[in-house]
Each structure stands twice: as C-alpha cells, then as structure tokens.
Amino acid sequence: MRYLPLLCLVFFSFGCSKEKFDRTDPKNGQTTELFVDHFYSTDNSNIYLWSDKSSSPLSLTEFSEREIGYTYKVKAKVYVPDVAPQDGPDKWFVLEQVLSKEKYTGKDPFEISLQIHSILARGLAFRKLDGKFIYSGAYELKPLNQEIASQMDQILSLAEKMQSNADYSAKARVRALVTHDPENPNKGYIVQQLLTANL
C-alpha cells in the first residue's frame, strides 16, 4: 500500500509523456527542433530536423525574420488545418521560438536553383530590375564578372519560353554556384558560375 503513490506517479508520468516526433507521420500540435541552414534556394528551403539533420518533412512558416548568412536552431509546432488547401500541403510547421542564431563564416560556393519549382508556376526565379538581378523577389544576384552578367541576360531572354512551354521548362536546368555577398551578406549572393543544361 505504501508503494501505491509511487506507482501512480510513474503511471501518470508515462501517461502524460509527449509522443515522440515521427517524421513519417507528424501529428497536429507536436513540437520539434529544426536546423535552418545559411542559404535559401527555390528548390530547397534547407530546413532539417535537429535530431538527425535529415531533411524536414514539412515546410516552416511564420519565420519572416530569417536572414541568409545565418544558421538557426528553432522550435516549431506541427499545424494541421481543419480544411487542407486545395493547392498546398495538408500540414506544415509553425515557428514557435528561435533558440539560437549563428553567423555563417564559410567561404565555399554553394549551389542554388534559378528556376521556379511549383505545381502552380514554372519559369525563372530571377529577373532584372533597375539594372540588378533579383532572385526570388528578395535577394540580389551579383555577377562575378561581365561574362556571367551576359550569360544571365541570355538566360532571361528565355523566360517567356520557359513560362509558356511546359516540356521545355521541365527539361531545362538553370542553377548557379554562389557565395554570400560580403557587402550585402543577408540579402545578396555573388554568382560565381552558371550551371545550365537543355536550354
């Protein structure tokens, strides 16, 4: 009889323990920690599960303060709407808290896609505005030299074809090797090399 309170406490603890996050079946309201990498690409948001650094099974929303050039550890909660949108996912992560933020100091180039990857749209993910190349509506792409700038102009001349011709757009590959722009580290990339195929 004297062990009854202890047994009740153990039972209560197990009964109330949080269900472990399962990447194959995320449940509404579950929380987990994520690693957000230092760069963004239209084909990869570079968000990973903190526990094993595997790619996140869900997108992360309400993280408008994210800056390229920094890595983050964040806490996020699974959100499942009552009615899933017709043209989007049926669940996603919502940011709960930024746990840490560290400046990325690496110098090696990394690869980004210069195409739109969406079931609703296709084409190029950059345009020229006031003489500057703008990527994904938010980041400046600064060509390393005039040769790369000319190549980017040539690629932009194909924008209409990529939007109107689904087969052409599906086969084409437009990517770039970039580094963070030291003069604009949180809002810009320097294009070191263009990687294209089937244009």
Go through the chain and tell me how many residues it has.
Answer: 199
- Which ranges of 61-135 would DSSP assign to H, the alpha helix? none
Largest CA distance in the chain: 84
Taking only the tens place, the pLDDT of each residue in 113-151 is 999 977 777 899 999 999 999 999 999 999 999 999 999
List average pLDDT for each run of 10 residues in the chain, which is 199 residues long: 49 52 90 97 93 94 94 97 84 97 96 88 93 96 98 97 92 97 94 97
- What is the residue extent of each domain of the chain? 24-103, 110-197
d(CA 104, CA 115): 25
By CB atoms closer than 10 A (0-12, 13-18, 19+), residue 128 is: middle
- Provide φ and ψ at 170, rounded to 5°: -70, -35
SS3 label, residue 14: helix
The residues facing 110 across adjacent strands are 178
